[in-house]
Amino acid sequence: MSESDELNREFECSMKQFERAHQHLNYREKSIATEWIKKLKKANNSVEDLKLRLDFIDYFINCSKCSIFSTEPFNKVPHPNAPLQKLRNLLPTSHKVRSVDATSDEQRKLYVEEMFDNMADKGAFLSDQPVPLDGTFFLVIINQK
């Protein structure tokens, strides 16, 4: 069985899970969810797209209890002509499991951006520091009240 066949089969299984997990949605949320699912089903041009749509559907399943389709950014219908790759940034970094190679420059950039976003000063202090030769650093954040 090829990788794309395997990814398609996994997507079909995930779709069944999604349908069970999202039975409680109101009419508006169901409409939006339906449009997102249509978008995901159309994204089957490459193995990268197949992996990315699995990341999206897994995220939707994991967020079934948090009203994912009534909160930003998934409370709007996705643009029908936008490729799924352009919507990748809507997923939190922790859910880009399959679609991004762990050693890629893109993955490293996502980790750095997420780290800066989680800091109180949005990385202002850290970005002014020199980069160590081995690329590692240790940071202690002390919150004073």
Over residues 59-78, mean pLDDT: 85
Tell me: cis bond preceding 73? Omega within 30 of 0 counts. yes
pLDDT over 70, % of the chain: 87
Tell me the two tokens of residue 7. Answer: 């990814």
40-58 confidence digits (pLDDT tens): 999 888 888 899 999 999 9
Over residues 76-99, mean pLDDT: 78
> By C-alpha distance, which of 27, 22, 32, 28 is closest to 76?
32
pTM of the model: 0.66
> By C-alpha distance, which of 121, 126, 128, 145 is closest to 137?
126
CB 106 within 8 A of CB 100: yes
What confidence tier does 90 reach under pLDDT thresholds 50, 70, 90? confident
What confidence tier does 98 reach under pLDDT thresholds 50, 70, 90? low
Amino acid code (one letter) for 68: I
What confidence tier does 99 reach under pLDDT thresholds 50, 70, 90? low
Tell me the two tokens of residue 128. Answer: 């002014």
What confidence tier does 32 reach under pLDDT thresholds 50, 70, 90? very high
CB 47 within 8 A of CB 11: no
Q: Inform me whether the pLDDT recorded for 104 exceeds 70.
A: no
Cα distance between residue 68 and residue 61, in whole Å: 9
User: 62-89: string of b/e by CB count within 10 Å (b at 16+)?
Assistant: ebbeeebbeeeebeeebeeeeebeebbe
